[in-house]
C-alpha cells in the first residue's frame, strides 16, 4: 500500500484501533521466484504514542519513577497532547461533548466528518497550508496531520531520520523528523511548529534540505 492509497477512514482507524501492516517480500527457490507477504499486528497509533520509547540499543532509564524521560518519549507525549487538543476542539466545534479520551475524540471526529459542510471535491488551499474553504476539508487536513505525526514520532517499526537542518517554516534547527518507508511513502514533521509534509509536499522539504546542505558545505 502506498501513501496515496490510505484514506481518511483508514487514518482514523489506524490512529484509534489495532491494525495489521503487510509487507511483500520475494523468495527464490530452484530458479523460481514468488512473492509472499509478512503480516505484523500493531497497536493503534495513539497507543504507540502512549508507550513510545526511542529505538536505540538499550536504555538504563526505568519506565516508572521521576527520572528524566528520553527525548523520544517526550516528543511522543507532546504529539499525543497536540492531537488530543485539536481533536477535542473539533468535537466541541461540531456541537458534541468531549469524551475525555484521545482515541475516543479522534473516532468521534471521524464519525462526524460525513455530516460536515463541504465545498466541493477538492480543498482550496495555498501550498501546505490548512484549507479555509469548508469544515470537511479542514478536518480531513487535520486528521492527515495527526496520522502523519503519530507514524513519525511513535518510531514503532522505523526510527525517524533527524537531519541537522532547519525547518523551512519556523527556522528551528534539528527539529525535523523524516520517516522513510519506501520511495512512495515518505513523511516528515517539525516537532517545534508541528508542520507536516506528505507525498504531495515532501519534495518541497527535500529541496530545502538540499539547498541548505549545499550552503553549509560552501561555507
Per-residue pLDDT of the chain (219 residues; tens, 9 = 90+): 445 568 999 999 999 999 776 666 677 777 787 777 766 778 999 999 988 754 443 333 333 333 334 455 788 999 999 999 999 999 999 999 999 999 999 999 999 999 998 888 777 655 556 787 899 999 999 999 999 999 998 866 567 899 999 999 999 999 999 988 777 788 999 999 999 998 889 999 999 999 999 865 554
pTM (predicted TM-score): 0.72
* Cα separation, 186 vs 3, whole angstroms: 8
DSSP class of residue 73 equals: H
Half-sphere exposure of 193 (CA within 13 A, CB side): 15
Q: Is 46 exposed, middle or buried (0-12, 13-18, 19+ CB in 10 A)?
A: buried
Amino acid at each position: 500500500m502506498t501513501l496515496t492509497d490510505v484514506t481518511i477512514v483508514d487514518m482514523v482507524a489506524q490512529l484509534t484501533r489495532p491494525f495489521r501492516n503487510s509487507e511483500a517480500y520475494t523468495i527464490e527457490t530452484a530458479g523460481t521466484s514468488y512473492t509472499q507477504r509478512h503480516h505484523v499486528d500493531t497497536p493503534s497509533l495513539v497507543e504507540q504514542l502512549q508507550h513510545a520509547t526511542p529505538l536505540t540499543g538499550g536504555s538504563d532509564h526505568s519506565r516508572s519513577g521521576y527520572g528524566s524521560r528520553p527525548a523520544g518519549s517526550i516528543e511522543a507525549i507532546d504529539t499525543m497532547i497536540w492531537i488530543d487538543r485539536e481533536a477535542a476542539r473539533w468535537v466541541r466545534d461540531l456541537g458534541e461533548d468531549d469524551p475525555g479520551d484521545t482515541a475516543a475524540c479522534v473516532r468521534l471526529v471521524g464519525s462526524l466528518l460525513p455530516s460536515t459542510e463541504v465545498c466541493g471535491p477538492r480543498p482550496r488551499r495555498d501550498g501546505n497550508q490548512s484549507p479555509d474553504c469548508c469544515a470537511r476539508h479542514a478536518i480531513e487536513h487535520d486528521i492527515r496531520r495527526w496520522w502523519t505525526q503519530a507514524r513519525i514520532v511513535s518510531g514503532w517499526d522505523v526510527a525517524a531520520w533527524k537531519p541537522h537542518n532547519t525547518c523551512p517554516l519556523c527556522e528551528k534547527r534539528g527539529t525535523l523528523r523524516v520517516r522513510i518507508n519506501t520511495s512512495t511513502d515518505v513523511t516528515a514533521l517539525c516537532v517545534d511548529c508541528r508542520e507536516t509534509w506528505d507525498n504531495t509536499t515532501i519534495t518541497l522539504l527535500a529541496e530545502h534540505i538540499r539547498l541548505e546542505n549545499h550552503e553549509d558545505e560552501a561555507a
